[in-house]
């Protein structure tokens, strides 16, 4: 057990309620303040006593300079996620605050399959028109409306995966097990099986599975859509910012994209004005899930174990 003197003050906004054993372990290694479910205004009312923040990537506010400046003692932000667009990383760099995410530890990252499974779920959903069949049943209908809920099989389709890292690689294996042909494109040459132009022009289903960088921001735009097949299916579980949403809406509307499913949109801290969400309210060819690809008990538990490991490493360094 850590000595009282070596403990650091940690503010956590990530959920712990279904992991009581890990909460006990966290309390043993740090002075823990649980702020899960707090609003931004409630966070800003907390005293400036925290050395480390463990943040929830699902919070409806961004860890911006206002929050970062409020906690003057803050030296590190740990996020149990691969993406960091919920944190103002540029300002953290200016302030000398280290941002530590799951990408820094392949052991924990490679053991998590939730996002891969959810991506595959969305592929099947666009092909089989889910959740509309369930809605039909709730409306008291059955096979009398079968023309509107007749879907397609994945078998013998060509799936194009843009970004064939951990998630893309898993999805490739899943699709091949179902009898699909898979094209991959990646900035790492060894992961690519074809060119981007070939992937876009030949794929029946296109899956976007890339990291959000300055280079990938809004890379999926009208130029990409023009190269795709008519009636293509599109799935995005990376980050909303990799797609130009105005172009996306245009090609959904003219049915160049037959159907799409996304787990992410731009500016998720202000979804009321998002054009994809507003489009989906009146159109059946766009499925949106609320950034839940990684939201499983198993994945969040592994992610919190990663957090605990990192905190122990930080504590150990602070004692030197």
CA distance to 102, 171, 177, 211, per residue, from 113 (Å): 13, 10, 16, 16
From the centroid of its chain, how far is CA 82?
Answer: 8
- The closest of 131, 172, 135, 179 to 153, measured between CA atoms, is 179
Q: Three-state DSSP class for 73? A: coil
CA angle at 243 for the pair 133 and 295, rounded to the nearest 5°: 55
Choose the catalytic residue: 86, 118, 183, 291: 291
Supply φ then ψ for residue 51, to 5 degrees: -90, -30
Say if CB 205 and CB 232 are below 8 A apart: yes
Helices (H), the chain: 20-29, 40-43, 65-70, 89-95, 106-110, 114-128, 132-138, 166-177, 196-202, 222-227, 245-253, 275-280, 297-318
Residues 137, 132: Cα–Cα separation, whole Å:
9
Going by C-beta distance under 8 Å and a sequence separation of 6 or more, which residues neighbour residue 44? 66, 67, 70
Q: State the catalytic residue, choosing from 86, 118, 183, 239.
A: 239
| Dist. CA 204–CA 105, nearest whole Å | 34
Annotated catalytic residue 86: no
Find the catalytic residue in 117, 241, 245, 268. 268
Active site residues: 239, 268, 291
């Amino acid at each position: 057990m850590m000595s009282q003197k070596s403990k650091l003050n940690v503010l956590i906004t990530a959920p712990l309620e279904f992991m009581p054993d890990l909460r006990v372990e966290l309390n043993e290694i740090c002075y823990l303040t649980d702020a899960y479910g707090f609003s931004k205004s409630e966070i800003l009312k907390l005293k400036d006593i925290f050395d480390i923040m463990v943040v929830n990537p699902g919070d409806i506010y961004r860890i911006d300079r206002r929050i970062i400046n409020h906690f003057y003692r803050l030296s590190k932000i740990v996020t149990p996620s691969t993406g960091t667009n919920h944190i103002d990383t540029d300002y953290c760099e200016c302030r000398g605050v280290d941002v530590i995410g799951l990408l820094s530890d392949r052991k924990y990252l490679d053991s998590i399959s939730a996002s891969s499974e959810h991506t595959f779920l969305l592929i099947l959903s666009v092909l089989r028109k889910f959740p509309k069949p369930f809605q039909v049943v709730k409306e008291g209908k059955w096979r009398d409306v079968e023309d509107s809920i007749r879907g397609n099989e994945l078998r013998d389709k060509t799936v194009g995966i843009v970004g064939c890292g951990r998630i893309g690689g898993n999805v490739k294996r899943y699709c091949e097990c179902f009898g699909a042909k898979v094209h991959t494109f990646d900035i790492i040459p060894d992961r690519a099986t074809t060119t981007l132009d070939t992937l876009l022009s030949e794929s029946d289903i296109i899956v976007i599975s890339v990291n959000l960088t300055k280079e990938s921001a809004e890379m999926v735009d009208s130029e990409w859509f023009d190269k795709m097949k008519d009636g293509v299916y599109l799935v995005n579980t990376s980050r909303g910012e990799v797609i130009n949403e105005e172009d996306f809406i245009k090609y959904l509307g003219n049915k160049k994209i037959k159907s799409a499913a996304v787990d992410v949109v731009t500016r998720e801290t202000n979804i009321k004005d998002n054009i994809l969400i507003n489009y989906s309210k009146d159109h059946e060819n766009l499925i949106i899930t609320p950034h839940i690809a990684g939201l499983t008990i198993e994945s969040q538990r592994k992610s919190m174990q990663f957090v605990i490991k990192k905190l122990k490493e930080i504590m150990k360094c602070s004692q030197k």
